Structure 1
């Protein structure tokens, strides 16, 4: 009792030990009041002590919660490289729809390096773009404007360009003649389209002989004139002789795709707007396409890769996956909040969890990828270069992908893309014929 109420006991003793005033008898009522007052004081002090303890607890609790959250931070994705084929430096297409050219030329640069080329190597994307626009403009006019005219194109366009125009080094033609140090093509594309729209209206009743020169003049003003001759390491070249000096056979390359609405092991034209040149691709089952990619990488080849990147599974921080959200929701119900357990997880929570650590992915079939293509869920968004294979901490396979968005993302311009994503969202690939497994190549008859 005394230990629980020390103040009451102490003050009682003090009051009892005070002697009465001289000639006055002790007043029992005063003594009783003193004890009551002391008890009330003790109660107030005890209450203050409790409040102080609660306040301290309130201050400590958030710190403990923060510490707990810190301790349960998601582990993230941790990759270990298995195969890595040499590539050239990361480039930045910036505000231009020229990924098709950046990725294909990056692929050809790796091919040139594979053949033992040791000089400085940086090929001009805008040389190909300039010539491509001229061909596209002429075809647009011949078809009376019934052709997709935009910034996009295909790997076949680059292969065609190398064969027909040749190539020049980047330092001979960087295509930046319009006051910026990065590529910005919206104005250029708009001006070119407006010009062609007037031409196809044929206001004179007959097309003039000047329209092609006028169109080329716009391209020259924005991208610069295409060099006719230039010097590399003291030797003079033109675009064709420089292409020949790089040591690759342009007849060794084939574009490959995988769709069920056309026969397998036959050539087909991929029906997408950016394939304005109507280049053909060899059509194979998706299992064969993946086997070709794997065989290429294992034998020192890279792959130019065209894919849809509009899915949320392809984020802007270096990862491409196809989460199985049903499986993720089951996980959250088992380990997550009461809300997730009883009424299901919010979509935003599922999406967040998918990128916090390796997650279950959908098992992609030929039918699933075809359905996505047929209903416009898979489109020809973006071109990149596959140059390696990596594994996450759970042993799952990813392809290492060189992008052309500068050093974006946590891997500084490199993306890790799961095999499921490649199976689901690949439009087509460009590869060296010699990288194709023999049994598959035999089915292609070349």
Structure 2
């Protein structure tokens, strides 16, 4: 092993001290911070929030201190349709309602995987992977589809936010404590040769406790409710005795079977025009399989543009923290000049970042616009879910180059795919390992 000699460190210190530029940079960075010192003001003028295609949306939502971006993004795509179809100025669907059922179903999905791996040592990679995070706030589009198909949706007024949905740290902490304890109990039952009936009885007791914990923390999901609103013309409407499923059918009405997930993962292990799934990834036992078609970036963006051109917003997943100015709402490769600041080349390829753990999907948002110049996309309008105090009243701008490097997934209608793409998607998917970066939860 190569030890660091004190003489070598002394040489480094002397070289640093003799570099006047680095001395000036040191003063700036220690006083102002890394990002503030590296901010490139030209990125603002290069990413003005004006777009040739710009869909009508309501005010942005706010997920607050929770990781429910995938949920907010999906419900926002529905909200856009409701605002348009029913002439509403603003409206939100209940993220708390969907969050309740997601955590309930994820708990059962965890039990299923724990029992399926009960013959493996607790130190095995799969069991260790399950126990590291039994459940969390994040998710994938197809997991959301499973929830909508089973539980429908409700207006936010029917199940408002709670303290623990808006700030989910304590709820996740104690739910995961319980699930890990339950995992130990279930694995011991299997080791002791307990009958399937006894295991199922114990599992139902555990699920009752999960339901109780969630109901105490988030509130009880409504089964029947009234929906009342005033439209833009101030006309009053009321629809009584709706169920979450009947509300979805009447007010959302999206056929979720018509939508597919497209990813861009340019790594050697994932050839383009092939379908993929991820082992042990899901939330609803018996629900929709998480499935993707891997496409090159040109095809990927072409599909997103086609859906926007037809007046429909696009759910997408990205690595939001990379080259991103949160307060300014700009995501661009030149938003910070870190190479010049540190005199270090941080450049890597998208494939390298995925393979070496530098990047993966961390956040889901909605594409609501794009600027097309000479037939090419130059920048994209992004509806975030961080409230209206960041960006342009909550909307961000992503440069086209940033989209190329840090966007990993979009959800589009099947009819926009070519026959070749659709055929590739419909084939039996290659199963990726549970820890593959394409299994990341937004």
Q: TM-score, normalised by structure 2?
A: 0.68
Q: Give the alignment of 1:29-428 within 5 angstroms.
A: 76-77=44-45, 78-113=48-83, 116-118=85-87, 121-144=91-114, 147=130, 148=133, 149-176=135-162, 183-202=166-185, 205=189, 207=199, 208=202, 209-232=204-227, 233-246=238-251, 247-259=253-265, 260=267, 261-269=269-277, 279-323=290-334, 345-347=340-342, 368-390=349-371, 397-428=378-409
CA distance in 2, matches of 1:199, 1:444: 37
Q: Are the equivalent residues in 2 in contact too, given 1:268–1:280 (CA < 8 A)?
A: yes
Partner Cα distance (1:218, 1:250) in 2: 30
List gaps (5 residues or longer) in structure 2. 1-40, 115-126, 190-197, 228-237, 428-442
Q: Distance in 2 between matches of 1:185 and 1:420?
A: 34
Q: Distance in 1 between the 2:417 and 2:79 partners?
A: 19
- Contact persistence 1:266–1:444 (CA under 8 A): yes
Tell me if the contact between 1:153 and 1:274 (Cα under 8 Å) persists in the aligned partners: no
C-alpha separation in 2, matches of 1:436 and 1:216: 40
Offset of residue 230 of structure 1: 0.5
1:75 offset after TM fit, Å? 9.2
Q: In structure 2, how many angstroms separate the alpha carbons of the residues matched to 1:405 and 1:274?
A: 26
Task: Assess if the C-alpha contact under 8 Å between 1:295 and 1:436 holds in 2.
Answer: no
Residues in 2 aligned to 1:300 and 1:442: alpha-carbon distance in whole angstroms? 26
8 Å contact from structure 1 (residues 79, 391) kept in 2: no
- 2:382 is paired with a residue of what secondary structure? strand
Structure 1 pair 416–75 and aligned structure 2 pair: CA distance change class (3 A): closer
| 8 Å Cα contact 1:296-1:436 kept in structure 2 | no
Tell me, in whole angstroms, the C-alpha distance in 2 between the residues paired with 1:315 and 1:175.
24
Q: Would you say the 8 A contact 1:79–1:390 is kept in 2? A: no
Deviations 1:338-393 (A, max 9, x none): xxxxxx94349999xxxxxxxxxx9xxxx93222211112212101000001479x
3-state SS in 2 of match to 1:198: helix
Q: Which has the higher contact order (CA 8 A, sep 6+)?
A: 2
Give the count of matched residue pairs: 337
- Given the two structures, how large is their TM-score scaled by the length of structure 1? 0.67
Q: CA deviation at 1:240?
A: 0.8
In the alignment, the residues of structure 2 paired with residue 400 and residue 75 of structure 1 have an alpha-carbon distance, to the nearest angstrom, of 15
CA distance in 2, matches of 1:309, 1:384: 9
Unaligned runs of 5+ in 1: 1-72, 330-343, 352-361
Larger Rg belongs to: 1
After superposing on structure 2, the runs of 4+ consecutive aligned residues of structure 1 that deviate more than 3 Å are 73-76, 111-114, 117-121, 203-207, 273-278, 312-316, 347-351, 434-446
